[in-house]
Amino acid sequence: MSAQKTTLHVDPFERNWLIISFAMLVVFSVVIAVSAFGMGIQVPVPESRVDPRTVASDPNSPWSNPGVREIVPGQKYDVYILSKTWQYLPAEITVPAGARVTFYVTSMDVQHGFKIQDTNVNVQIVPGHVAKMTVTFDTPGAYDFICTEYCGAAHGAMAGKVIVQP
């Protein structure tokens, strides 16, 4: 018996599309790796769970008194934001430039969104879940945050501001 050599005959047009598809997968993988590791882009994950009915009234809840908590003076801050029908509490936050700010956001009524303009913070807020995102504000100025999920008639008015001082 002689050994027969088997070959796979692929049409050149199909082969070219296979090569293009494989090259696109490689390019997409590199872009995702650079985004995740080089640029610090984060995938939002639920930090914890809360009871949306009592989150604002429970004295042990940080959302009973939402706002800025200084962890390391001038360097690290935690911000607790409560979203509810057409408003964020607090609606204005002040932090120094260069500070690393971690946002903990939850909703007490319906689904909301939380996007800080000119940053990579954009997360969906689901009642009962706590969303956590961290950002460093290097440039002083005012950064608006808005609701990105339709939450009712006054959805367009649901906004706030992060003021970054030099």
Q: What CATH number corresponds to the domain at position 84?
A: 2.60.40.420
Average pLDDT over residues 47-65: 91
Tell me, yes or no, whether 71 lies in a domain: yes
Whole-angstrom distance, CA of residue 103 vs CA of residue 134:
6
For the entire predicted model, the pTM comes to 0.76
Tell me, yes or no, whether 53 lies in a domain: yes
Average pLDDT over residues 17-34: 94
Asked whether residue 112 carries a pLDDT value surpassing 90, the answer given is: yes
% of the chain at pLDDT higher than 90? 77
- Tracing tokens 């985004």 back to the chain, one arrives at 35
pLDDT one-digit tens code per residue, 120-160: 889 999 999 999 999 999 999 999 999 999 999 999 999 99
Tell me, yes or no, whether 110 lies in a domain: yes
Tell me, yes or no, whether 17 lies in a domain: no
Expressed as residue numbers, the domain containing 55 is 46-165
CA angle 69–132–82, rounded 5-degree value? 65
Tell me, yes or no, whether 26 lies in a domain: no
Tell me, yes or no, whether 146 lies in a domain: yes
Whole-angstrom distance, CA of residue 43 vs CA of residue 136:
16
- Tokens at 136, concatenated: 């460093």
Residue scoring higher pLDDT (7 or 27): 27
Tell me, yes or no, whether 58 lies in a domain: yes
DSSP state, residue 63: G
Q: Where are the alpha helices (DSSP H) in the chain?
A: 12-33
Count of structural domains, the chain: 1
Residue in 83, 85, 76, 71 with CA at minimum distance from that of residue 130: 83
> Is the distance from CB of 121 to CB of 40 less than 8 angstroms?
no
Asked whether residue 5 carries a pLDDT value surpassing 60, the answer given is: yes
Structure-derived torsion over alpha carbons of residues 137, 149, 147, 42, reported in degrees to the nearest 10: -10
* Collapsed DSSP state (helix, strand, coil) of residue 29: helix
Tell me, yes or no, whether 130 lies in a domain: yes
Q: Residue 63's pLDDT is what?
A: 93
